[in-house]
Amino acid sequence: YADQPGFIQALYSALSTNVSSDAVWVAQARGHNPSSNLLNNVAQGKLMVLDLFGENDPRGKNGSFGNHNFIYCMLHNFGGRIGLHGRFDKTMDNYYASLSAKPNQCKGIGATPEGIETNPMLYDMLFELPWMEKPANKLDWVREYTTSRYGQANVQAQNAYDKLYQSVYNCTTGQQGTSEPIVCAQPSLTASKVSAWSTGVISHNTDFVIEAADDLLSQVETLSGNNYNYDLLDVTRQALTDYAMTLLQQLNTDWNKGGKNNADFAPRARHYLNLIEGIDKLLNTHQSYRYGNWGAMARAIASEPAAVAGGATSADADWLEHDNLRLQITSWDTKNNWSLFDYSNREWGGMLKDYYLARWKLFFDNKLNGTALPSSWYEWGKGWQQDTNHTYTYTAAPEGNTKTIAKEQFDTYFWPLTDTKGNKSYVRRHVEQTLKNDVYATQGYRGENYIVPLPNGATLSSLSIDLNNDGAYGDGETFTEATVAIPAGAAAGLVKARLVLDDQTVLNYQLALADNITEARTVSVSLAAGCENMGSVSIDDHDGTSVTTTDYLTLRATANSGYDFLKWGVDINGTASESTDNPYHYYGK
């Protein structure tokens, strides 16, 4: 009956009569609310609608609330879950669109998160909106914010926030909150999220997050203070958490190729468990990320004046921590309700190790040794949640140095590379990946030694090079040393290579095999006779169709409409060959 006109009218009448004639009914715009009956049966000026998820689904600007006033809100966070996330551009743009469309009804801004104290930049921007005369230049605002946050202008810090702005802070999907940390999921090799209502799918550019962490790490001698340490931890945590999904997917691939008998599965499982433990170690360096800090605050409620008057006891404190805080961030419910299980998951130091990591250890023990799993993760979780014997106790004070541990964990799992244009990319350790040629950018000379670049502390297991460029690794093309003598007769051009390290890192990449050109030679390109109207040919980074240089060259053919590129006919000192590559990389003398 709550949505019937008569009920609504009677309720508002009682509100205005018994409370105040100036009373205003506040309603949330979420799901099907506010209903048309509510909108049509409360007088104009007596209903205020919270446009709850305005950064993703703004309704006020479209007239969804009739003539009633509304407040533009940013919901942002679901379940109090931790993760770098936001819709920076949409938050700002949708506010101004709402204000422009309904200038007399849009009365202000509001924050409506289910959990707060994450992603401070989004909230700083939101609460500044009413004070802006016009929409700010977004990237300029982010850079000014960075300067304000750290108390000084710092190019690397601004670069870090630029990357975050271009990735995690401009979510392009309709997901509810951050992409969940897969390390908090109920263990499964195919886990794709933690809770029923969210997603663990990562839609942002993970390289940008890693680069942002690297940029912040580069300033450990220059920047300091709580804001810097908080951000350094948070961004490094996000990079590691994103990487966990990649490592888990690799484990699933390994399992499908031999199960526990796959030689890579067990060591990669250890890497995964070590990763979670490393994230926990990092979280414990800052009070805001320690479970003990939040547990202490919950227990302290029992000592507040109103509680003390009733005779607070240690049992009251236990009830507040175990039956409230721990219940909410694990099962949420006192019964096994799958739809809310782990809905309010947390990457908090102490909890990550004792609750989430403990689950994963049991899972991999089952996979590798056949040890029985609990019949229910809900029942198993009661041991930590209820903790009747006080087995799991925590302190609020930080442990360890954020700068030191952030660098330690970053260097353990990421290997930075720089491409031929100076752009950074990052190898994820312990997994197999394929790199673009301009990222790894390795060069081998025919008739000389090729030394494969390795990350610090890495040991080579094997290196395979397709020396004859036949698409396979044949006899004499796999090596166990990092220095390889390239035969003078090896194929010239881009050939495939495969690098395997002893820590289960596997890189598939292209190696440029070429002559070591010490004397300039002339290279010319032209269209075949009779093809002059069919397209054009060029040499990248050079004017004209002929150049004398020692550089390696990229030749490019562009077909006119109605024609297709067929092949290059290559004439090197009277020796003819052909290639269908376009562009064609010329490495010869």
DSSP letters of 139-163? HHHHHHHHHHHHTS--HHHHHHHHH
Give the closest residue to 579 by CA, choosing from 494, 475, 510, 514.
Answer: 494
User: What confidence tier does 493 reach under pLDDT thresholds 50, 70, 90?
Assistant: confident
Here the CATH number for the domain that contains residue 91 is 3.20.20.80
pLDDT of residue 570: 82
User: What confidence tier does 31 reach under pLDDT thresholds 50, 70, 90?
Assistant: confident
pLDDT of residue 420: 67
351 and 451 assigned to the same domain: no
Residue 577 domain flag: yes
Give the closest residue to 114 by CA, choosing from 80, 71, 74, 73.
Answer: 80
Calculate the average pLDDT of the chain. 94
73 and 18 assigned to the same domain: yes
Q: 109-118, 348-357, 434-443: which has the minimum mean pLDDT? A: 434-443
380 and 472 assigned to the same domain: no
Phi, psi for residue 358 in degrees, rounded to 5:
-60, -40
Contacts of 373 (CB under 8 A, 6+ apart): 362, 363, 366
Residue 500 domain flag: yes
441 and 488 assigned to the same domain: yes
525 and 381 assigned to the same domain: no
User: What confidence tier does 494 reach under pLDDT thresholds 50, 70, 90?
Assistant: confident
Cα Rg, the chain, nearest whole Å = 30
Residue 383 domain flag: yes
Question: 529-546 pLDDT, tens per residue?
Answer: 999 899 999 999 999 999
Determine the average pLDDT of the residues in 124-144. 96
Torsion of CA 175, 180, 185, 190, to 10 degrees: 60
Here the CATH number for the domain that contains residue 391 is 1.20.120.670
Residue 248 domain flag: yes
Q: Is the confidence at residue 221, as pLDDT, over 80? A: yes
pLDDT of residue 339: 87
Determine the average pLDDT of the residues in 128-137. 94
359 and 452 assigned to the same domain: no
**For residue 447, how many other CB atoms are within 10 A of its CB?**
12
Q: Is the confidence at residue 263, as pLDDT, over 90? A: yes
236 and 377 assigned to the same domain: yes
Q: Are 51 and 98 in contact (CB under 8 A)?
A: yes
Determine the average pLDDT of the residues in 543-560. 92
Q: Is the confidence at residue 381, as pLDDT, over 60? A: yes
DSSP letter for 135, please: P
pLDDT of residue 468: 94
Q: Is the confidence at residue 438, as pLDDT, over 70? A: no
In angstroms, the CA 517 to CA 515 distance is 6
Q: Is the confidence at residue 587, as pLDDT, over 90? A: no
Question: 278-311 pLDDT, tens per residue?
Answer: 999 999 999 999 999 999 999 999 888 765 556 6
B/e letters for 215-245, b = 16+ CB within 10 Å, e = fewer, are: bbbbbbeebeeeebbbbbbbbbbbbbbbbbb
User: What confidence tier does 261 reach under pLDDT thresholds 50, 70, 90?
Assistant: very high
Q: Are 182 and 200 in contact (CB under 8 A)?
A: yes
Determine the average pLDDT of the residues in 556-583. 86
pLDDT of residue 118: 96
pLDDT of residue 578: 85
pLDDT of residue 307: 57
In angstroms, the CA 40 to CA 153 distance is 53
490 and 558 assigned to the same domain: no
Determine the average pLDDT of the residues in 81-94. 98
Q: Is the confidence at residue 437, as pLDDT, over 80? A: no
Residue 189 domain flag: no
| Percent of the chain as helix, strand, coil, to the nearest 5 | 40, 20, 45
Q: Which domain holds residue 325?
A: 206-406
Residue 526 in tokens: 């032209």
With a pLDDT cut of 70, the percent of the chain lying above it is 97
pLDDT of residue 577: 79
Of 357, 386, 406, which closes a domain? 406
Q: 28-42, 294-308, 506-520: which has the minimum mean pLDDT? A: 294-308
In angstroms, the CA 171 to CA 198 distance is 14
Residue 145 domain flag: no
Helical packing angle, 265-283 and 402-413, nearest 10°: 160
Count Cα atoms within 13 angstroms, Cβ side, for 342. 25
Determine the average pLDDT of the residues in 331-345. 91
Question: 235-249 pLDDT, tens per residue?
Answer: 999 999 999 999 999
Instruction: Respond yes or no on whether the N-terminal peptide bond of residue 267 is cis (omega within 30° of 0).
Output: no
Question: 157-175 pLDDT, tens per residue?
Answer: 999 999 999 999 999 999 9
303 and 368 assigned to the same domain: yes
Here the CATH number for the domain that contains residue 490 is 2.60.40
Q: Is the confidence at residue 474, as pLDDT, over 80? A: yes
Residue 568 in tokens: 């290059």
pLDDT of residue 391: 96
385 and 505 assigned to the same domain: no
365 and 491 assigned to the same domain: no
36 and 131 assigned to the same domain: yes
Look up the pTM and report it: 0.91
In Å, what is the CA distance from 505 to each residue of 122, 369, 502, 539? Answer: 37, 24, 7, 37
Residue 144 domain flag: no
Residue 417 domain flag: no
User: What confidence tier does 386 reach under pLDDT thresholds 50, 70, 90?
Assistant: very high
Determine the average pLDDT of the residues in 257-271. 98
In angstroms, the CA 470 to CA 473 distance is 8
Higher pLDDT residue, 437 or 10?
10
Sign of the C-alpha dihedral computed for residues 250, 256, 260 and 264 taken in this order: negative
Question: 560-569 pLDDT, tens per residue?
Answer: 999 999 998 8
The count of domains in the chain is 4
pLDDT of residue 512: 87
pLDDT of residue 492: 86
| 3-class DSSP state of 107 | strand
